[in-house]
Amino acid sequence: MGILSNIFHKIFPSSHPAAQAGGQAAPAQQPAQQPAQQPAQQPAQQPAQQPQAAPAAAPMQQVDVEAILNGMQQQAGQQLNWRTSIVDLMKLLGLDSSLQARKELAAELHYTGDTGDSASMNIWLHKQVMNKLAENGGKVPADLKD
């Protein structure tokens, strides 16, 4: 399990597709119900009924990421600036926030910059994590995304 999926598991409820898929969420699809069998012979004057299209997949449940993280912040007992710091976000979630862990997250998210420039990498990582949360059903404040 990757670091991004660990982040998803900490923020999204276990029933949420993002938590189940570990960051590769797709809307859950229910199997379409089979239409009732049509009689083999229909009177010529009645056109055959068209089977109804399967209902569109229900929209993915949105999770208020800001509210969840603010709630965790209140219980943390220490001031962590999760809004701008990937290190503080990872600490708030109880994850390893070491440089090595952040480099692993950067590799997972296909960071092409210099991992030796941790300040630039950290800023990029924070934006990418917020974008991934939003892409997978998280309600993320616009100022925290690209």
**Averaged pLDDT, 106-134:** 97
CA separation for the pair 130, 109 (Å, rounded):
12
- CB neighbours of residue 129 within 10 Å: 25
Residues listed for the chain = 146
| Mean pLDDT over the full length of the chain | 81
Model confidence over 1-37: pLDDT tens digits? 699 999 999 999 877 676 666 545 443 333 344 444 4
pTM tops 0.95, yes or no = no
Predicted local confidence at residue 37, as pLDDT: 46
Angstrom distances, CA of residue 21 to CA of 16, 26, 69: 9, 8, 21
- Residue 62: which residues within 8 A CB-CB, separation 6 or more? 137, 138, 139
Report pLDDT digits (tens) over 78-106. Answer: 899 999 999 999 999 999 999 999 999 99
- For helices 99-108 and 3-11, the axis angle rounded to 10 degrees is 90
pLDDT at 145: 85
Question: Does residue 75 or residue 18 have the better pLDDT?
Answer: 75
pLDDT of residue 31: 37
Task: Provide the pLDDT for residue 15.
Answer: 73
